[in-house]
Structure 1
Amino acid sequence: MRSSTPVPPAVRGWCPSLAEPLASRDGWLVRLPVGCRPVSSDQWRVVATLAETRGNGLVEITRRGNLQVRGLAVRHLDRTAELLAGAGLANRNPAADGQRAVVCDPLLDIGASPDRASARREVVRRLEQLVVDLGDGLPAKWWAVVDGGGPWPVPTSSADVAVVDHGSSWQVRVAGAVVASAGDPLAILHAVAAVIRRCADAGCRARDLPGVADGWGPMRSEPVEREAWWGIRKVGDRAVAPGAPPLGVATADALHLLARVAEGPVSVRPEPGRGVLLVASGEEAADAGAAELAGTLEQLAAVGWVVSPRDPRRWVSACIGSQGCPSALVDTHALARARLADTRGRRLHISGCPKRCGAPPGVRELVATPDGLHVEEVG
């Protein structure tokens, strides 16, 4: 299954965007900085239509809850950028787009009081503005998280900055470690601004700052101990359920289905597990919302999505592999399908080259190298 690689594996210092698309093995790639925010019916339809008419029909959901349209022809890039920007899915000027660096907890507004939900939204807005005002010089892979502390896990430990709502207090974490805490969410934003300034001045990620805790007191790690569930649950007054395309790659047909779902009383939100969260409208009773979601899950299962806790595909992830990346040494998706029976309820990620793109923390990883396949543990 090994193939030659014309492009030596190398970690890129930037992320593909409307302004800077990426040339890959299967065509050009653009990333839409959704950041786990709800995507409207019209927006899903725009992405699906572009994927099937200008791309190769495939859209990835990333570990930061973004969308990637694959297989675009160079002649379609300008029109694609125009349509996506017009749909509010991206900005053609990344320097003016604070949203590109800020990922939201997909359940940020769920299970909280109206005042608390409003405060969370204000934190997101101000953090996005801080990135625009202070972020000139930030590396392209720098990112921040606003986490509502709810039941769905978000990757705060790998973010440069995370603002976490603990209910009684708000907390700032830098590269996974706690550096500030306060009762007023706006009072801790000065610590966030300081991190942004220092990273922008140094042109580096927060984890690479010398003496990262200077001025904030001793750092202490506080891991997030939450696990994703499968099936329908009640969160606050809403019914919520996850669904995921196999290996995070959705077809245009499946996205058209999401567009139809989002026309009704269900919000569809990309999430960090490379899938979506379906949230029933608050106007419905919880039981009615659960019934609505059950029907939606049946439709997703019919197009091949993972919706059940018994589906072994939920334990396996992979980079795009040799089907889409010129650096990949193997067909990672074929390897993933072949190893489903070996997971035994433990996460496995398959990387097509030593770059190890998209590997989640704390999993067993199968890495392709010129010397063969190697098993590694990702911390």
Structure 2
Amino acid sequence: MSGFVVKGWCPDAWRPMMAGDGLLVRVRPPLGRLTAAQAEGLCEAANVHGNGQIDLTARANLQLRGVTEAGWPALLEELQALGLVDPDPVREGRGAILVDPMWREGDDTHGITTELRARLVELPALPGKVGFVVDAGARPMLSDAPGDFRIERAATGGLLLRADGRATGVAISREDAVDALIRLAHWFVASGGQAAGRMARHGAALPEWTSGAVSPAPAGESLRPGAHPMGAVYGLPFGRIDAAELAAFVRAHRVALRLTPWRMLLAEGVVPAPAAAMVLEDAPILHVDACVGAPACPQASVATRDLAARLAPLVTGRLHISGCAKGCARARAADWVLTGREGAFDLARNARAGAAPLHTGLTPERAVALLGAC
């Protein structure tokens, strides 16, 4: 693969990352939810201090793009005033918590996440890409989403604590869930997890108290664009939305938004209606993962999203187009993956970005010809 740099950490609001189009500032709204006022304020800040482009990530975070170094301090203050960034950078850095977006106030997901957020100072210093998953609804929704320490609904109907990369976990109670999660995080660090970087790569045997044989419950039905019992679900092609368009939607409906790791927004209490740049049906474009590519990302050697739009209606299954071998847009394998290398594409099947290719040195036109014939 072409040269790229694995940063070893993910940007957040206190530690933005320089991209080809300016600073990348990541925002983790508490419980993955924005009130209407927070959404409008975020969009205004994105326009004033950035280039007005917002990305919804596979961890259900928002990324504000094109932020200037001079404008970043003011942006940080505004995000704190909106309640979207913790005033303590240490707590903010430890708050990578992905939640089942269909939580309701007072349920297990809501209660556990709220307690965990209140106790972030009790966590050890963890590698920069480590995150938590709280998936305690009636059926797990986040089985394919990234996360190192997981609280899930068990097949027995109770709760379980599971280390990522292990098929089973140990039964826990609602009252003990956060204690157990914090304890597992401390074990991870004490047993050398910093070197591994992620739980799934950590080879140490789990302690006896957490190496149970409890399986997660079968996964729940996948979220789809359109009507939903809680409102309406809108797909964002490649996770991208223009801040002005999102602000106009929120003003028109005075609606709270829930973020999902599937690059969809759940608008609470809204009757489905067309909205600019947001998709209300299960369109082919929503089955394509594509990073921002060149020139917005300095590590990418190819443009990605124009090709992704051309290929979307031609490909059956999941397609991933990555500007380099890092595979930022999709961590897991896809049916087809095109990886940029030295200005051209490598094509692999049932693989992650950077995998051994079936074809190399493809131009966009050749990639369209190959995948269009599959």
Which TM-score band (shorter chain)?
0.7 to 0.9
Matching residue within 288, 292, 302 for 1:330: 302
1:318 aligns with 2:290: yes
Matching residue within 211, 217, 223 for 2:211: 217
| Aligned amino acid, residue 217 of structure 1 | S
Equivalence for 2:181: 192
Change (3 A) 1:97 1:73: closer
Q: How many residues align?
A: 341
Equivalence for 1:372: 345
Tell me the distance in 2 between the aligned counterparts of 1:146 and 1:261: 32
Give the CA deviation at 1:368. 1.3
Q: Conserved in 2, the CA contact under 8 Å of 1:18 and 1:91?
A: no
Is 118-127 or 220-229 further displaced after alignment?
220-229
Equivalence for 1:28: 23
1:180 aligns with 2:170: yes
Matching residue within 351, 355, 358 for 2:329: 358
Tell me the distance in 2 between the aligned counterparts of 1:255 and 1:99: 28
| Aligned amino acid, residue 201 of structure 2 | D
Equivalence for 1:283: none
Q: TM-score, normalised by structure 2?
A: 0.83
Higher RCO by CA contacts (8 Å cutoff, separation 6 or greater) = 1
1:269-292 CA-partner distances (Å, limit 9, x unpaired): 111111211222xxxxxxxxxxx4
| Aligned amino acid, residue 293 of structure 1 | V
Aligned pairs (5 A) from 1:1-379:
8-34=3-29, 37-97=32-92, 100-109=95-104, 117-135=106-124, 137-150=125-138, 153-155=141-143, 158-166=146-154, 168-177=157-166, 178-182=168-172, 184-201=173-190, 202=192, 203=194, 204-215=197-208, 216-217=210-211, 222=216, 224=219, 226-234=221-229, 239-260=230-251, 263=254, 266-280=255-269, 292-294=270-272, 297-298=273-274, 300=275, 303-309=276-282, 311-344=283-316, 346-364=317-335, 365-370=337-342, 372-378=345-351
Change (3 A) 1:275 1:220: same
Give the CA deviation at 1:34. 2.1
Tell me the distance in 2 between the aligned counterparts of 1:378 and 1:130: 38
Please identify runs of 4+ aligned residues in structure 1 that moved more than 4 A.
218-223
Is 21-30 or 185-194 further displaced after alignment?
185-194
Q: Conserved in 2, the CA contact under 8 Å of 1:102 and 1:145?
A: yes
Give the CA deviation at 1:221. 6.4
Q: What percent identity do the matched residue pairs reach?
A: 25
Gaps of 5+ in 2: 353-374
Is the partner of 2:271 in helix, strand or coil?
A: helix
Is the partner of 1:350 in helix, strand or coil?
A: strand
| Aligned amino acid, residue 68 of structure 1 | Q
Tell me the distance in 2 between the aligned counterparts of 1:339 and 1:156: 24
Gaps of 5+ in 1: 281-291
Give the CA deviation at 1:218. 5.0
Tell me the distance in 2 between the aligned counterparts of 1:200 and 1:94: 20
Q: Conserved in 1, the CA contact under 8 Å of 2:59 and 2:145?
A: no
Change (3 A) 1:163 1:84: same
Tell me the distance in 2 between the aligned counterparts of 1:151 and 1:343: 30
Tell me the distance in 2 between the aligned counterparts of 1:77 and 1:349: 32
Q: TM-score, normalised by structure 1?
A: 0.82
Is 316-325 or 121-130 further displaced after alignment?
121-130
Give the CA deviation at 1:152. 7.9
Change (3 A) 1:157 1:254: closer
Tell me the distance in 2 between the aligned counterparts of 1:56 and 1:22: 15
1:81-102 CA-partner distances (Å, limit 9, x unpaired): 1111111111253312377221
Change (3 A) 1:157 1:331: closer
Give the CA deviation at 1:358. 2.1
Tell me the distance in 1 between the aligned counterparts of 2:285 and 2:116: 36
